[in-house]
Amino acid sequence: MISFLLDVDDLADTRFAISPLREVMGSLRALRAPALFPLHVPWRRSVLARLDPADARLLTALVGETLTLPDFLTPRPTTFAPTIEDQLAVVRATPEEVVRRDLCAAHAPRPLPEALQPVTGSVADWLEELCELLLRYWQLAILPDWPRMRLLLEADITHRARQLAMGGARLLFADLHRNLTWRGGVLHVDHMIGRHRVDGAGRGLRLVPSLFAHKPAPPLSADEPPMLAYPSRGAATLWEAAPGPDTSALSALLGAPRTTVLRLLAEPLPTVELARLLGVTPSAVSQHLQVLHATGLVTRARDGRRVLYRRSPLGDRLAAGA
């Protein structure tokens, strides 16, 4: 069990944060142990198909046999939503002795895997190469889905903030995960390999939701300030296919006749041609075109004696959505 002793000042400085680097490192767990992350299996298959095998070996070697992560690669966010570049700058500044300590702690009691042996040489050079690799991996594996991920993480934080407002710290921690217990000013994290107690000492607690966490994960070292990554709500919806368009929605908005006119105007057409296609009078089409033009959904241009109408970019987006 790992425990955080939190006084009044620590509770007052309890904050949520979104950590791109935490998602990067958490996703490496899913690459290494797919059985624990069944929701991410399709994502994992897609990433491994595009990831260089040598890069994959080094990245997964960062994760310990028990899926522990080196603390220096999961730095505590200092702002609500730091960028991946901001967090990698923190990693680059890690002292050599801390890098070695954290890597050894993540793999204890086993020795470092072969892929990490170069760290016994120049740590600064190795760290620079590692940060470049983590950035490339972020761009390949996380960034394409980051907008959707961030929305889910922010939605989780909104829910937790509501829990805190309604029931205080007790309800907040009880709702985070069954492994967490709050009593007597101490937050207990059960089912952990570590056995230590961390005094908040006014440093506050950082709570970091993660879509790649299967249980709460505090830092390994008792020297680190209080931080807890926890499973985010909504992870089950992350890879769901977007629902198909509702073809009736546009008709409900514009009416069936104007919807039909808008769909026909993917290419420029004159009023008389639209009337012929629809089997109505040109005057009836003109009324619909006036409304569509006034609302910015179609544009018009003169071609000799004819006036040609075509969907505007706004009209294109509206028609595509339907």
Beta partners for residue 207, in sequence order: 16, 228
Domain boundary among 177, 209, 237: 237
Question: What are the start-end ranges of the E strands in the chain?
Answer: 2-5, 15-16, 180-183, 186-189, 196-199, 206-210, 227-231, 269-270, 298-303, 306-311
CA–CA separation, 298 vs 300, rounded Å? 7
Check whether the bond before 95 is cis (ω within 30° of 0): no
Same domain for 160 and 123? yes
pLDDT tens, position by position, for the chain (322 residues)?
A: 899 999 999 999 999 999 999 999 999 999 999 999 999 999 999 999 999 999 999 999 999 999 999 999 999 999 999 999 999 999 999 999 999 999 999 999 999 999 998 876 788 889 999 999 999 999 999 999 999 999 999 999 999 988 988 888 889 998 899 999 999 899 999 988 878 999 999 999 999 999 999 999 999 999 999 999 999 998 988 887 655 555 577 777 888 889 899 989 988 899 998 988 888 899 999 999 999 999 999 999 887 888 999 999 998 888 886 5
Q: In this structure, what CATH number is given to the domain that contains residue 290?
A: 1.10.10.10
**Is residue 78 a contact partner of residue 93, using CB atoms and an 8 Å limit?**
no
Phi and psi for 253 in degrees, rounded to 5? Answer: -80, -50
Same domain for 32 and 121? yes
Same domain for 222 and 296? no
Same domain for 229 and 253? no
Helices (H) and strands (E) in the chain, counts: 13, 10
Same domain for 187 and 255? no
Same domain for 127 and 223? yes
291 belongs to a structural domain:
yes
301 belongs to a structural domain:
yes
**Residue 172 burial by Cβ neighbours in a 10 Å radius (0-12, 13-18, 19+):** buried
190 belongs to a structural domain:
yes
CA–CA separation, 25 vs 2, rounded Å? 21
CA–CA separation, 237 vs 216, rounded Å? 20
Domain boundary among 237, 265, 290: 237
CA–CA separation, 27 vs 50, rounded Å? 15
242 belongs to a structural domain:
no
109 belongs to a structural domain:
yes
Same domain for 181 and 309? no
Domain boundary among 191, 219, 237: 237
Same domain for 24 and 63? yes
Number of domains in the chain: 2
Residue 213's domain comprises 2-237
Same domain for 224 and 272? no
Return the SS3 of 166: helix
Packing angle, helices 41-50 and 20-32, rounded to 10: 90
Same domain for 49 and 142? yes
